[in-house]
A = this chain, B = another copy of it.
Amino acid sequence: MDQGVIYFPSKPSIIASGVVGGPLEKKSVFAADFDLLLDDERAEEKSNEKGHKQMALQACQIALEKANIKERDVDFLMSGDLVNQMTPSNFLASTLGIPYFGLYSACATSISGAIVAALLTELGASKYALAGAASQHNSIERQFRYPVEYGGQKPGTAQWTVTAAGYALIAKGQMNSPVIEAATVGKSIDLQQTDPFHMGAAMAPAACDTITRHLKGRGQSLSDYDLIITGDLAKVGLPILQECLIKEGMAQQDVMKIRDAGAEFYGDDQTFLAGASGAGCSASVFFSTILKGLNEKKYERVLAVATGALLSPLTVQQNESIPCTAHAIEISMK
């Protein structure tokens, strides 16, 4: 067994999901697959952080409604977000009243949550578990970079934090729903990059490491997948990942088929610079369009790799490097 690779013999199922986006996310190429698009960035709440939590709550409720499950029937909630001390997730958990694991892997959090949910399901400790993550543009930008009102210019390598929440409802393995077959837990990989406006480059080596370990652990190659999609490397980071995988000996024609949610999220609109990022980016795309593709049997086997930059405003001020991670789940549909 390769380090960090986990197998789920009982194949826990993703039986439903809920995805909510903000008003600007109506421009996303994935928007048609979202369950709800808000007209107000703050979800009619009085602060960005309250809106952030409200959006995550709506995503959870939509997932439960689709599966016709009540909140009280959910055994565990796995959630995280980019706000300091993850307060939107903490308030989400107190509203839902479900035993709660707070997880933090920056923009890779949704998949670390799905992995813990699959572990709990595999063991029989959980009948239904909600796992996901969210991000809200204004609350994240003012924390990690500048207040939005300041209008600070950004280089073309910068990414746009999406306003979106994606939560999946995970239950014991069942027919006619996508199942989690295996997962690979990311290492924290630090190649001494320090530019918070160049996250794609910082995260690409972590994605490369996780994909390589996953394939090695599973005895697979890239061509065993109908789709390999990363989280938010965006337009700058994806080619770096591809170059890295070619150096690892993978076939160029397979490597070039790898997609990235962040690179595609806002299409070619240059307002959004190198593309989308945020914990809600991979969560919303994986748990809407990608799950839909699995449910419709467009894909039989997908490797969903969420990437995260483990920086903080303080480490940026202290000129520290940016360690990055990537967590992967292998989802199949029969």
Q: Mark A101-135, 1 if CB is under 8 A from B, else 0.
A: 11111100000100110011011010000000000
B125 touches A7 (CB 8 A): yes
A189 interface residue, CB < 8 Å from B?
Answer: yes
Contact of A94 among B93, B106, B120, B189 (CB under 8 A): B189
Judging by beta carbons under 8 Å apart, are B99 and A185 in contact? yes
Among A299-334, those with CB < 8 Å from B are: 310-315, 318, 320, 323, 325
Q: For residue A3, which residues in chain B have a CB less than 8 angstroms away from its CB? A: 75, 98-99
Nearest B-chain residue to A102, judged by Cβ:
B104
The reply to whether B83 and A312 contact each other, CB–CB distance below 8 Å, is yes
With the chains together, A259 CA to B102 CA distance in Å?
26
Within 8 A of B (CB), among A161-199: 184-190
Chain A 1-32: CB-based contact to B (< 8 A → 1; otherwise 0): 10111110000000000000000000000000
Q: In the docked arrangement, what's the CA distance between A296 and B187, Å?
A: 36
Question: A160 contacts the other chain (Cβ, under 8 Å)?
Answer: no
A90 closest partner in B (C-beta): B310
Which of the residues B4, B49, B188 comes within 8 Å of A318, measured between beta carbons?
B49
Q: Mark A82-96, 1 if CB is under 8 A from B, else 0.
A: 111111001101100
**A123 to B6 alpha-carbon distance, docked (Å):** 9
Chain B min CB distance to A258 (Å): 21
Contact with B along A251-275 (1 / 0, CB 8 A): 0000000000000000000000000
Asked if A102 and B105 sit within 8 Å, CB to CB, the answer is yes
User: Is B102 a contact partner of A112 (Cβ separation < 8 A)?
Assistant: yes
A102 in contact with B99 (CB, 8 Å)? no
Set of chain B residues within 8 Å of A5, measured between Cβ atoms: 125
Q: Is the CB of A103 within 8 A of B104?
A: yes
* Cα separation A313 to B85 with both chains bound (whole Å): 9
Indicate if A287 sits at the interface (CB-CB under 8 A): no
Closest CB-CB distance, A161 to chain B, in whole Å? Answer: 14
A100 contacts B by Cβ under 8 Å: yes
Q: Which residues of B contact A34 (CB under 8 A)?
A: none
Q: Is B314 touching A49 in the complex (CB atoms < 8 A)?
A: yes
Residues of chain B within 8 A of A83, CB atoms compared: 312, 314
Residues of B within 8 A of A187 (CB): 93-94, 97-100
Q: Which residues from chain B contact A94 at a C-beta distance below 8 Å? A: 187-190, 323
Nearest B-chain residue to A122, judged by Cβ? B123
**Distance (whole angstroms) from the CB of A22 to the closest CB of chain B:** 20
A6 contact set on B, CB distance < 8 A: 120, 123, 125
Closest residue of chain B to A74 (Cβ to Cβ) is B3
A94-B187, A102-B325 given; 10 more Cβ-contact pairs under 8 Å: A49-B315, A85-B106, A85-B311, A93-B188, A100-B186, A100-B188, A102-B104, A102-B112, A116-B119, A122-B123
7 tightest A-B CB contacts, nearest first: A4-B99, A93-B188, A85-B312, A90-B310, A99-B185, A94-B188, A94-B190
State the A residues within 8 Å of B (CB).
1, 3-7, 47, 49, 75-76, 80, 82-87, 90-91, 93-94, 97-106, 112, 115-116, 119-120, 122-123, 125, 184-190, 310-315, 318, 320, 323, 325
